[in-house]
Amino acid sequence: MKLQRFFSIILTLCTAGLSAQNSDWGVRTGIEVEKKLNKKWEIGFGGEYRWKEGMSLTDQIRGSFETGYKPWKFLKIGAGYELIADKKKKRDSYINRHRFKLDATGSYKYGRFTANWRPRLQITLYDDDDVDDDEPDNYRWVMRNRFGLNYNIPKIPVKPYIQIEIYHRVFNNPDYYKNRFSTGLEYTITKHHEIDLGYKRDSEIANGKKSYFDVLAVKYKFSF
């Protein structure tokens, strides 16, 4: 209860003044392990646990595998798979999603600023056929465009960042239905250890109504 109260206070401070229409908030914790095979290839594994409804309920449990290739310093091409165990409140059980993704990340450095753009195409498949295709989280083909900017602070191992991501359905009435605003800090502990502490706000349109989901996210990354 103390942990839940702490995160509640943090989310309240982060979202104060942004909107009086918040529908929910939650917390996401993750871990990522990245291995550089050579100068151009890398692989990574990750896991994530998500809470919703004021951190009172489990939302999702995720496991992922990704691979990346850098043909040039400013461009990275990636592909990956993600297994998502999605907790459904009405059923009091999980539905497994299998998500495959293909993306490319381009970056441009100017002084201590780095701008980046990542278009991603993803397809999501389900173990259970009884899935409502009209629910935004259940869209099978989705195109995501993420734009970001970070800053390298001189002599301090902290990089503040800001991002905006836009979601579109690809087939079945292609349409924009969601955007995600993110901001946070990447803290490099040592060469191999990094922590990302961030705030995210999802703005989603479903059935003509707009809802919000605020998130406090913490991720630890180990690279070697």
Give me the pLDDT at residue 126, please: 87
- Rg of the chain taking only CA atoms, in angstroms: 18
Give me the pLDDT at residue 99, please: 96
Give me the pLDDT at residue 18, please: 47
The count of C-alpha atoms lying within 13 angstroms of the C-alpha of 91, restricted to the half-sphere facing its C-beta, is 9
pTM of the model: 0.85
Look up the CATH number of the domain holding residue 66.
Answer: 2.40.128.140
72: its two tokens: 């040039």
| Sequence letter at residue 150 | N
Q: Which helix (H) or strand (E) holds 169?
A: strand 158-169
Give me the pLDDT at residue 17, please: 46
Q: Where are the alpha helices (DSSP H) in 49-152?
A: none
Residue 194 domain boundaries = 2-223
38: its two tokens: 């050579």
- Per DSSP bridges, beta strands 209-223 and 24-36 are parallel
52: its two tokens: 């919703």
Q: What is the pLDDT along the chain (224 residues), one digit of tens a residue?
A: 555 555 555 555 555 544 445 579 999 999 999 999 999 999 999 999 999 998 899 999 999 999 999 999 999 999 999 999 988 766 678 889 999 999 999 999 999 999 999 999 999 998 876 666 566 666 789 999 999 999 999 999 999 999 999 999 998 677 888 999 999 999 999 999 999 999 999 998 876 788 999 999 999 999 99
CA–CA dist 203, 29 (Å, integer): 20
pLDDT tens figures, 80-126 = 999 999 887 666 788 899 999 999 999 999 999 999 999 999 999 98
Closest CA to 161 of 112, 202, 102: 112
The total domain count for the chain is: 1
Q: Is the dihedral of CA 66, 113, 30, 117 positive or negative?
A: negative
Give me the pLDDT at residue 179, please: 96
Compute φ and ψ for 16, nearest 5 degrees. -60, 125
Q: In whole angstroms, how far apart are CA 24 and each of 11, 138, 209?
A: 10, 19, 15
Give me the pLDDT at residue 131, please: 64
CA–CA dist 184, 218 (Å, integer): 10
CA–CA dist 64, 84 (Å, integer): 9
